[in-house]
Amino acid sequence: MSRSRRLLTWTVLLVLMAAFGAGVNRYLASGPTAYAPAKIPTQADVKVSLRGTVYFADDGGLFALTGTHITQLQTEGQGWTQPVLIPGGAGLLAVKVTANYYSDLYELNLSGRIEAQLSHDSGKVTATELGADDWLYYPAVGPGDTLYFSYDWPKGNVDDPSECCYQVDLSIWETTLGTDITRTNVEKGDGITQQSWANYYTGGDISPVPLVDGGLLYVDYEGAYGNTGQLSTPLPGAVPGAEVSQIRLDPKPLYNVAGSDGAALTLPQDDCAQPALNPDESEIAMICTPVVDGAPSSTESDLVVASFDAATGTLGTLDRIVTGTMAASPTWSPDGTDLIYLAPEAGDGYFELWSVADAATSPAARPKQVTTGLDLDGSAAVWAP
């Protein structure tokens, strides 16, 4: 081989080597990320077609799932959460959260158009007056257009800046749908009545579920060893001082006196919350924290179903139909047979919509994943016919 050819050969080889090095660099740079952003719901894959329409909140937007088609009702990033159906299916109520400040209740039609703002919870005049803002969550409409909701009033020491704002607990309030909800009206009791009294420093009472006969299911929180001392029976495995939840039944909330709690349907050690009542009020689905390795789990939450007798206020045996995952926010189908709930998808761990057919029969059917690629959060969906 002549010198010139040899030189040419080595030159070509050197160029190829450089190109190879650059190629390695670019190959690594183009490597797939394990943390692909979640899809917006309208681009999501829906694996299972559900009957009726499911309204749900995701990433601050509102959406409707009909069959396998998802429609956007309100764009994401606006703080929308906790949609509920107005009795008769005429529209929706939903909460809109202004992060780190306050939340308000709105009425929307089924296409997502805002019909009315039902609360005005921004009372802040300056940036330091955080106690002047309010949280409103968990709207629920009962017989006679009675509206229940959780509201962070009364607060502790709100008028004393040096002591202000450590105690912020939600209590359940009641009014008539359409009443203007403001701090002033709440303080004056102007058409708005307090129906539960939260245990201090627990976060409060949430998830009101009105019954046909005027009773009310709700969830309260307390220290595992009681708020002011020890429970007579310390909770097995519970960390002393840790919070536990109970589902309570208040049969006559309209005649409550201050401090009444209703009767507990679940035991503190079952740590149950997020109740969902089926349409004929014979079954309650809920989320309960299991005890794993002798202590309440922080990485698992079970989907539980139990029979319910509203007349006697009794709950049947807890049937844990979905275990070993982080289940949340159950909702019954309009005919009361199936459940939808949230749980992580395998792999990326994002919360997706799942369904269980014949949830009240034992054993329940195997859960099916309804959506994929989303990152649903927070509130329970609404399942309309």
Partner 1 sequence: MSVGRSPEAARRRRASRRHPRVPRVRSILVVLLGFVLSGVVGALTFFWPTITTALGATGHGIQVSAPTPSTLPGSPSATPAAAPTSSSPFTVLLMGSDNDGKFTTASGAPYFCCAQSLILVRVDPAASSVTMLSIPRDLWVPIYSASGRQQGDGKVSQAFGDAGDGTNGADAEIATIEQDFQVNVDHYVWIGLQGLINLIDEVGGIDIVASHPVMDDSYPYDVAGSTNPNAADRVAVLPGAEHMDGLEALEYVRSRHDDISEDLGRTVRQQQVLVALRQKLSQLSLGDINNLASALSGEVLTDVPLTQFPLLLGISKDIASGSIQHVYLTQYSGGTEDGQDVLEPDMSAILAVVHQYFPAT
Residue pair 380/62 in contact (Cβ under 8 Å)? The answer is no
Residue pair 363/350 in contact (Cβ under 8 Å)? The answer is no
Q: Which stretch binds partner 1 (CB under 8 A): 69-77, 188-196, 215-223, 313-321?
A: 215-223
The pair phi, psi for residue 143, each rounded to 5°, is -55, 145
234-253 residues near partner 1, rule: CB under 8 A:
239-243, 245
264-283 residues near partner 1, rule: CB under 8 A:
271, 273-274
317-346 residues near partner 1, rule: CB under 8 A:
326-329, 342-344
d(Cα 83, Cα 67) in Å, to the nearest integer? 19
Query: Given the complex with partner 1, which of 137 and 173 has the nearer CB atom?
Result: 137
Q: Does 55 bind partner 1 (CB under 8 A)?
A: no
Q: What binding mask, one character per residue, do residues 360-379 give for partner 1 by CB under 8 A, x or -?
A: ---------------xxxxx
Cα 268-367-307 angle, rounded to 5 deg: 40
Residue with the two structure tokens 């209703």: 262
Total binding residues toward partner 1, as defined by CB under 8 A: 93
67-96 residues near partner 1, rule: CB under 8 A:
none
Please identify which residue in 63, 80, 106, 137 interacts with partner 1, judged by CB under 8 A. 137
Query: Given the complex with partner 1, which of 266 and 329 has the nearer CB atom?
Result: 329
Q: Which amino acid is at 264?
A: A
* Cα Dmax for the chain: 107
3-42 residues near partner 1, rule: CB under 8 A:
13-14, 16-18, 20-25, 28-38
CA-based nearest residue to 180, from 93, 119, 136, 132: 119
Query: Given the complex with partner 1, which of 242 and 384 has the nearer CB atom?
Result: 242
d(Cα 337, Cα 116) in Å, to the nearest integer? 33
Mapping DSSP to helix (H, G, I), strand (E, B) and coil, where does residue 296 land?
strand
Please identify which residue in 4, 5, 100, 259 interacts with partner 1, judged by CB under 8 A. 100
